[in-house]
């Protein structure tokens, strides 16, 4: 299993590290535009192999896509991250050009690959990859919901004062501060609805804290986060590589599901060796349906800024 990660920055390197530590891939290729940068990150990571006990081979390359040939999975993290006070949507001007060029170069050398889009604004970048390549829709996956759901579970466990392993929950909708929909109604603690443990006010607080999860970290760090994003991407990569058929919320192209068309947005999907094996349609209540519609309108407005 060969995996290419484009962008050897904070998220790309973290993702490569988690993939390597889980030791399910034979090779990870890190590619960056900055001369020597990916080579340096790859060498540093390889020097953790004997310490962390993995055999995955990590190589770094500067912009030579021939070395990515025949990758089974390609992850796109190249582009700029947001700074404190910025929205993800403000990155579109620079990142759209980068994502379009990178996806085209990747497919030229790996026509059968599955692409995971991470660069922001992620839903729009995933949509751009659909529009600018002829890859089938099961092979383009936007990563956002897996991360947002992990942040939701963190906040739920904090409110419940219990272990995260007891908590389950999912965030659907657009990967933006206003577009995320943490499904509090369906969240559970050891199989019991969390509403049995938490007041409506406390649940609203969890929901609000989840939505600004990325912005909170950006303010603290001065740039966007990387550990949880890298771990979330590695989870998707592992689900494909090991054909796990695991459910994650991912940004996928909808064609009628959830009443939406011609848009990439976060919904639960089953991930396996074919990428998106199927879309899971949850029976949303009226309020959740309204939130989904509003979230899709927000993503649609950003998509309209693309020069297709
Ligand atoms: P970073 O600045 O640390 O790394 C980005 C890397 O991309 C840099 O090393 C840069 O040299 C490289 N790059 C730029 N243009 C390139 C090109 N044309 N070809 C190859 N490499 C190129 O940024 P970071 O923190 O790693 O974030 C990367 C992206 O991921 C940002 O757009 C950020 O907003 C997004 N992100 C998305 C998340 C999600 O849940 N979808 C979570 C966290 C970040």
pTM over 0.95: yes
Tell me what the pLDDT averaged over the chain comes to: 97
Q: 150 and 194 share a domain?
A: yes
Measure Cα distances from 42 to 214, 215, 247, 306 in Å.
27, 29, 30, 33
Beta carbons of 284 and 292 less than 8 angstroms apart: yes
Q: The sheet that has 167-168: what strands, in order across it?
A: 167-168, 188-189, 192-193
- Do 161 and 131 share a domain, yes or no? no
Residues 109 and 207 in one domain: no
Does the CB atom of residue 100 touch ligand 1 within 6 A? Answer: no
pLDDT tens digits along 78-93: 999 888 988 888 899 8
139 is in an annotated binding site: no
Residue 256 tokens, joined? 């009628």
- Establish whether residue 194 lines the binding site of ligand 1, counting it when its CB lies within 6 angstroms of any ligand atom: no
CATH of the domain at 154: 3.90.110.10
Count of Cβ atoms closer than 10 Å to residue 52 Cβ: 11
Quick one: average pLDDT of 64-86? 95
* 244 Cβ contact partners less than 8 Å away, ≥ 6 residues apart: 238, 271, 272
Minimum-distance ligand 1 atom for the alpha carbon of 142: 41
Number of folded domains that form the chain: 2
Tokens at residue 184, please? 């509090």
Instruction: Please indicate whether residue 128, judged by its CB atom, sits closer than 6 Å to ligand 1.
Output: no
Q: What is the CATH number of the domain that holds 31?
A: 3.40.50.720
ipTM for the whole complex: 0.99
Domain boundary among 143, 175, 201: 143
User: Which of ligand 1's atoms lies nearest the C-alpha of 148?
Assistant: 40
Q: Are residues 296 and 239 in the same domain?
A: yes
Domain boundary among 128, 143, 158: 143
Residues 149-177 have a mean pLDDT of 98
150 and 59 within one domain = no
Residue 109: CA atoms inside 13 Å, Cβ hemisphere, count? 18
78 Cα nearest atom in ligand 1: 7
- Structure token digits, residue 253: 């192209």
Active site residues: 175
Answer with the one of 143, 172, 188 that is the final residue of a domain.
143
Pocket flag, ligand 1, residue 68 (CB < 6 Å): no
Residues 112, 178: one domain? no
Domain co-membership, 294 together with 153: yes
pLDDT (mean) for 8-27: 98
Do 289 and 151 lie in one domain? The reply is yes
For 36, the domain range is 2-143
202 is in an annotated binding site: no
Please name the residue whose Cα sits nearest to atom 25 of ligand 1. Answer: 10
Question: Are both 112 and 166 inside the same structural domain?
Answer: no
The reply, when asked if residue 88 is annotated as ligand binding, is yes
pLDDT of amino acid 163:
98
Tokens linked to 285: 């209540």
- Identify whether residues 280 and 166 lie together within a single domain: yes
Instruction: For residue 157, say whether it is annotated as part of any ligand binding site.
Output: no
29 closest CA partner among 38, 279, 260: 38
């Amino acid at each position: 299993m060969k995996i290419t990660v484009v962008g050897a920055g904070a998220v790309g390197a973290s993702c490569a590290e988690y993939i390597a530590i889980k030791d399910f891939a034979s090779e990870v290729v890190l590619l960056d535009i900055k001369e020597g940068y990916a080579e340096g990150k790859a060498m540093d990571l390889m020097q953790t192999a004997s310490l962390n006990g993995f055999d995955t081979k990590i190589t770094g390359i500067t912009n030579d896509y021939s070395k990515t040939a025949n990758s089974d999975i390609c992850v796109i993290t190249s582009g700029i991250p947001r700074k404190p006070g910025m929205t993800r949507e403000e990155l579109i001007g620079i990142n759209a050009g980068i994502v379009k060029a990178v996806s085209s170069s990747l497919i030229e050398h790996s026509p059968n690959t599955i692409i995971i889009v991470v660069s922001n604004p992620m839903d729009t970048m995933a949509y751009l990859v659909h529009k600018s390549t002829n890859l089938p829709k099961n092979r383009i996956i936007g990563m956002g919901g897996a991360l947002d759901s992990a942040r939701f579970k963190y906040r739920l466990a904090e409110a419940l004062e219990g272990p995260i392993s007891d908590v389950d929950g999912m965030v659907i909708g657009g990967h933006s501060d206003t577009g995320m929909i943490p499904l509090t109604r369906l969240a559970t603690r050891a199989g019991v609805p969390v509403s049995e443990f938490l007041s409506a006010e406390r649940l609203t607080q969890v929901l609000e804290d989840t939505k600004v999860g990325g912005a909170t970290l950006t303010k603290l760090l001065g740039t966007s986060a990387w550990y949880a994003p890298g771990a979330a991407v590695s989870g998707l990569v592992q689900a494909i590589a090991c054909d796990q058929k695991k459910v994650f919320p991912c940004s996928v192209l909808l064609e009628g599901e959830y009443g939406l068309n011609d848009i990439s947005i976060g919904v639960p999907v089953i991930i396996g060796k074919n990428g998106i094996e199927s879309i899971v349609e949850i029976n949303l209540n009226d309020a959740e349906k309204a939130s989904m519609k509003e979230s899709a309108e927000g993503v649609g407005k950003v998509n309209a800024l693309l020069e297709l």
